[in-house]
Chains A and B, each alone.
Chain A
Amino acid sequence: MALRSLMSNRTTRTHLAFLALPVVLFVTFYIYPIVSSIHLSLHSWDGFSPAMRWVGLQNYATLLGQPRFINAVFNNITWVVFMLVVPTGIGLLLAALLDRGMRGEGVFRIIFFLPFTIPAVAVAAIWRWMYEPSNGLLTTVLNLIGLGGLSQNWLGDPNIVNFSLMGAVAWWTTGFAFLVFFAGLRNIPTECIEASRIEGATPWQTFWKVSFPLLWPSTIIVLGMSAIDAMRLFDVVWAMTKGGPAYSSEVLATQMYDLAFGRFAMGQASAVAVYLLIIAAVIIMPYIYYMSNRVTESEAE
């Protein structure tokens, strides 16, 4: 008994020692900057002057009155919806089709996943070339098939620039959803699938009634990651449009970057960041809570 409690004490101490470094990093690089951002957001500051001027909640109020800010919030929410639906849906479709045992499976798998491995700046460079209004691939192909009238100033028109960006992002991120779903489908015991076939279910029924519910762990990962990525979205928008034309494609992250490092309005930029954190918390916190509960449940089993 004494030995046992000694061992468990030693185990606890070891566990705490293992956690020390990660917790120090977490406090230094998350907690401290967040507190500091909130502090900064209550001031007016250009980043250089020794004195910051206390302005209370004025930065927050100013932002709410700006169409530019409201538009960025709207864009961020649109991106969340888009990321939860489009890349996830296409990824699931491709995984389900490929799981039926196609010839050349390995090649398809690589082609679908490759775009995901590319840096955002490379995605931006490639798609800006695709979207060239006069001789980009998109316009060229539309002209070739006689639909030249449909071609647009893809990145220059405020009304369609967001759709153009979403096209590039769908191409970029679908591979992740695809691969996680595909791995998940391969993880489903074949007996389940065979049993439903023997019962006379069509492949369609088998997928929705048997495979899809068993894919729940993969679905959680994909949806959670997509929502987080959508809230953090920065690189592609910045590298493709810098938020333009006329701020139409701005998201909160690019707006914050422009305010902080382009206009040196550190206080207002921090207020944008705090708004972003609040919106992200509202959208993603339930997911994190669900995840950590699920983990405890699976341990109780």
Chain B
Amino acid sequence: MSSALQQRQTVLTRTILVVFAIVFAAPLIVAAITSMKSPSELTRVLALPTEFYWQNYLVAFERMGRSFFNSIAITVPAVALSILIGAIAGYPLAYMRGSSGRLVYFLLLTGMLVPFQIVQIPLFFLIQRLGLYDTIAGMWLVHTAYAVPFCTFFMRNFFASVPRSMYEAALIDGCGPTRYFWKLLLPASTSGLAALAIIQSRSIWNDLLFAITLTSSDSARPVTVQISGFASSLQVEYGPLMAATLVSVLPVMAAYLMFQKAFVRGLLGGAGK
């Protein structure tokens, strides 16, 4: 291939990538700029704000109340519990031979196709009867339970990519299957666990469906419900709304940027096998 042609292709590739990057970044940039504008500047969409109108952020924090902290209180333990359950279920399924293991795996996998809507009404009454309606602990339980199929699927595939010889060697050395799991397998799986933790924190932090069904007061409502109410009020004030939106976006974004490498590695471990 001639180098001129090659160069033209590189330029073309680069142009396409830059155009897409602009399209992908524009909504976020516009949101960031909007969050800094005073109400009178809002109508000039493309203009930069003349000064940083920090009242937007004050109003946003006031409107969000404690929902931001509720989101943290829900997400952190629920992520830890759900990846632990995924690992606990994925471990025997990665090592069991024969049809019974396969049947359990198939059953758990079918859970992935269940639209949450079908459980929504009975779940509402179940959680109420358990006395967990409108509590943070109720949200832990629900998020952990509904993570079982995906987390099991993910951790099982990850464990299956860990060399089996490690397992056999450990058993021959007299290490029991339980000790092997806690002392050897889990520590060797940090990249998989980290990748799953990122995926889970995104889906738990971002959840709206369970939150609007199972919480009703400021004591347990996460930030997503608060923003959704904020956004559908009659007079939408876009300045404070964009400020609140950006604040709600930051934790998961930061988590992703921090664990990006582990995420890609873990995804490969899961997807490669």
Which A residues are closer than 8 A to B by beta carbons? 7, 10-11, 14-16, 18-19, 21-23, 25-26, 28-30, 32-34, 36-37, 40, 90, 93-94, 97-98, 100, 102, 107-108, 110-122, 124-130, 135-137, 140-141, 144, 171, 174-175, 179-180, 182-184, 186-187, 202-203, 217-218, 221, 228, 231-232, 234-235, 238-239, 242, 252-253, 256-257, 260-261, 266, 269-270, 272-274, 276-277, 280-281, 284-285, 288-289, 291-292, 295-296, 298-299
Contact of B242 among A26, A125, A180, A203 (CB under 8 A): A125
> With the chains together, A140 CA to B91 CA distance in Å?
54
> With the chains together, A277 CA to B115 CA distance in Å?
6
Instruction: Contact check, A40 vs B122: say whether CB atoms are below 8 A apart.
Output: yes
- Report whether over half of chain B's contact residues are helix, strand or loop; otherwise say mixed: helix
CB B116 to nearest CB in A, in angstroms, measures 6
Instruction: Contact check, B28 vs A115: say whether CB atoms are below 8 A apart.
Output: yes
> With the chains together, A93 CA to B13 CA distance in Å?
10
Instruction: Contact check, B231 vs A121: say whether CB atoms are below 8 A apart.
Output: yes
Instruction: Contact check, A292 vs B92: say whether CB atoms are below 8 A apart.
Output: no
Binds A, one of B50-58, B142-150, B186-194: B142-150
> With the chains together, A172 CA to B43 CA distance in Å?
25
B1-31 vs A: 1/0 string, CB under 8 Å?
A: 1000000011001101100110111111011
Which B residues are closer than 8 A to A by beta carbons? 1, 9-10, 13-14, 16-17, 20-21, 23-28, 30-31, 34, 42-46, 85, 88-89, 91-93, 95-97, 101-102, 104-123, 126, 142, 144-146, 148-149, 152-153, 156-157, 160, 171, 176-178, 181, 202, 205-209, 213, 223-224, 227-228, 230-232, 236, 238, 241-242, 245, 248-249, 252-253, 256-257, 260, 264, 267-268, 270-273
CB B246 to nearest CB in A, in angstroms, measures 8
With A171-B27, A218-B271, A281-B113 as given contacts, are A292 and B121 in contact (CB-CB < 8 Å)? no
Contacts of B248 in A (CB 8 A): 119, 121-122
In the complex, besides A25-B145, A280-B114, 14 extra interface pairs with C-beta distance below 8 angstroms are A28-B145, A29-B123, A30-B114, A33-B122, A94-B17, A94-B20, A114-B256, A115-B28, A119-B252, A128-B231, A129-B242, A256-B117, A277-B118, A295-B105
With A119-B249, A137-B45, A234-B208 as given contacts, are A203 and B121 in contact (CB-CB < 8 Å)? no
CB B263 to nearest CB in A, in angstroms, measures 8
> With the chains together, A30 CA to B121 CA distance in Å?
12
Which residue of chain B is the closest to A285 with respect to CB atoms?
A: B113
Contacts of A15 in B (CB 8 A): 91-92, 95-96, 101, 177
Instruction: Contact check, A232 vs B109: say whether CB atoms are below 8 A apart.
Output: no
Contacts of A228 in B (CB 8 A): 112-113
The 5 nearest A-B residue pairs measured at CB:
A15-B92, A22-B89, A33-B119, A119-B206, A29-B145
Contact of B118 among A276, A284, A288 (CB under 8 A): A276
Which residue of chain B is the closest to A35 with respect to CB atoms?
A: B122
Q: Which of A98, A121, A137 has the most CB of B within 10 A?
A: A121
> With the chains together, A292 CA to B113 CA distance in Å?
13
Instruction: Contact check, A298 vs B119: say whether CB atoms are below 8 A apart.
Output: no
> With the chains together, A292 CA to B232 CA distance in Å?
43
Instruction: Contact check, B121 vs A280: say whether CB atoms are below 8 A apart.
Output: no
Contacts of A102 in B (CB 8 A): 13-14, 17
CB B74 to nearest CB in A, in angstroms, measures 13
CB A140 to nearest CB in B, in angstroms, measures 5
Which residue of chain A is the closest to B103 with respect to CB atoms?
A: A292
> With the chains together, A299 CA to B256 CA distance in Å?
32
Contacts of B117 in A (CB 8 A): 232, 234, 252-253, 256-257, 272-273, 276
